[in-house]
Amino acid sequence: MHARPFQQIDVFSHRPGDGNPLAVVMEAGDLGAAEMQRFAAWTNLSETTFLLPPTEAGRAGGADYRVRIFTPGGELPFAGHPTLGTCHAWLHAGHRPREAGAIVQECGLGLVRIRQQGGTLAFAAPPLRRSAPNPALLALVTGALGLRPQQILAAQLLDNGPRWLGLLLGDAPTVLGLQPDHARLKDLGQAVGVVHVAPTAGDTQSPGVTVRAFAAPMGNPEDPVTGSLNASLAQWLIAEGLAPRQYLVAQGECLGRAGRVHISQDDDGQVWVGGQAVTCIEGRALL
């Protein structure tokens, strides 16, 4: 065992306790997957990440560092709040990217671009695969959420590494009032993201989009603030004209959090998912 630099970051918040916590273990290049998984299960956070040097191919592609991302139950090829939180930890530790203000992360999904603007980090949403859900699955999930079919305005299966069933609902109180049967969702093996887009969503001074993420199949009944889900929701909703090109998301209220996710689509059609992050714990982890 070795004492390794360790940080715990709150992501999508400027104030500790309002966002989604992430454990980051640095100097993890000699750790195996089983050791990483064991530590991630011990932290019992939605995700724990491990910083490593880029692979030869990653370095050739411009990667500044490589990350492996674990939930308590398994490894993910990509996830949003671990991407921003790991980047924040890497910068906080004194590292600097090859190009000022532009960081390249290597992960299981490939290379992910991250931009730094003031106190905000934003990642380029990775390519999205989406399709209409199986009607039988949609009916089962609708029942597990306690919804009636007519309350769902639109639905899509979304896959950018993590796989979500995205559901668009007609009002925020319905989203916030959901009390899902998490055991049933776990049995179905389907993570679900529920979203409402207000008519005023284009005014980014205050949150106009409400999101909740139910991730029992990933070991987390409800995720406080979810970058990968917000990325895929944005790509779907903007492409279908169901959301403006820029908006501000509120997520986490039902868990006592106040997460804020900034969504924007640039002129090239790239969706960016951003937010603030703050270091809450810093020290060394023995593993």
The rounded distance, in Å, linking the Cα atoms of 167 and 156 is 7
Phi, psi of 123 (to 5 degrees): -105, 150
**Does residue 220 carry a pLDDT above 90?**
no
pLDDT at 73: 87
Which CATH number is associated with domain 129-268? Answer: 3.10.310.10
Stretch 197-207: mean pLDDT, rounded?
95
Give residue limits of the domains in the chain: 3-123+275-286, 129-268
Same fold yes or no, 3-123+275-286 and 129-268: yes
Task: Express each pLDDT in 140-187 by its tens digit.
Answer: 999 999 999 999 999 999 999 889 999 999 999 999 999 999 999 999
Which one, of 59, 48, 46, lies nearest residue 23 by Cα?
A: 48
Phi, psi of 75 (to 5 degrees): -95, 145
Q: Are strands 191-197 and 163-169 parallel, antiparallel or unpaired?
A: parallel
Of 27, 35, 47, 240, which residue is the catalytic one?
47
Residue 240 falls in the annotated catalytic set: no
Is-contact 7 24, C-beta < 8 A? yes
Which CATH number is associated with domain 3-123+275-286? Answer: 3.10.310.10
